[in-house]
Amino acid sequence: MKKREMLLSPYNPDWVRQFETIKLDLVNLLSKQIVAVHHFGSTAVEGMSAKPIIDVLVTVKKIETVDSFNKPLEQLGYIAKGENGISERRYFEKYASDNSTHLVHLHFYQDGNYKALEELKFRDFLRNNQEAFDRYLEIKREASQLYRYFPEQYQNHKSAVIKELIEKANTPLQTKQ
């Protein structure tokens, strides 16, 4: 298995189409449980360089019901990872055939979950505030250069800036200039 790389790709408009296909599969499988399906993360921010992994945030009526869909999701190629470090979340990964390249990350939260709302607020802030967009892109590029083969360090390097931007997103009247 090849080592996972934290390499950024230029924004690809096809990421939106990929998300729509994933969303359709999820709605067909879990329709009665789903409240909403969102594209988030860097691939959901037009113009943002990103690791080409589609992040999908699914809010459901009851988080516990997601566990009963592990097998059907596995049949679609997703590997269940449980909470995977975030309380009250269910997380799944989908890999390319080489088993080292991540293609999709599914994040399930119960509707109204604070972490889910924060993720969407962060995405929207990057979409609507050029200064935040530029700051985040800068730290992503730096993290990718410094920690190309170290996913945890890559994430840790970005965390202070993410926290700073979320705090700014929580202040009123932040719009793209």
Q: What is the helix (H) or strand (E) element at residue 60, kind and residue range?
A: strand 54-60
Q: Which two tokens stand for residue 37?
A: 């399906």
Q: What are phi and psi of 92, to 5 degrees?
A: -135, 145
**Per-residue model confidence (pLDDT) at position 4:** 82
11: left (phi over 0), alpha (psi -120 to 50) or beta: beta
Nearest CA to 36 out of 86, 95, 88, 107 is that of 107
User: Tell me: the pLDDT tens digits for 8-63?
Assistant: 999 999 999 999 999 999 999 999 999 999 999 999 999 999 999 999 999 999 99
User: Tell me: the pLDDT tens digits for 81-130?
Assistant: 999 999 999 999 999 887 778 999 999 999 999 999 999 999 999 999 99
Q: What is the arithmetic mean of pLDDT over 129-137?
A: 97
**Per-residue model confidence (pLDDT) at position 154:** 96
Q: Where are the alpha helices (DSSP H) in the chain?
A: 14-30, 70-75, 114-128, 130-146, 151-169
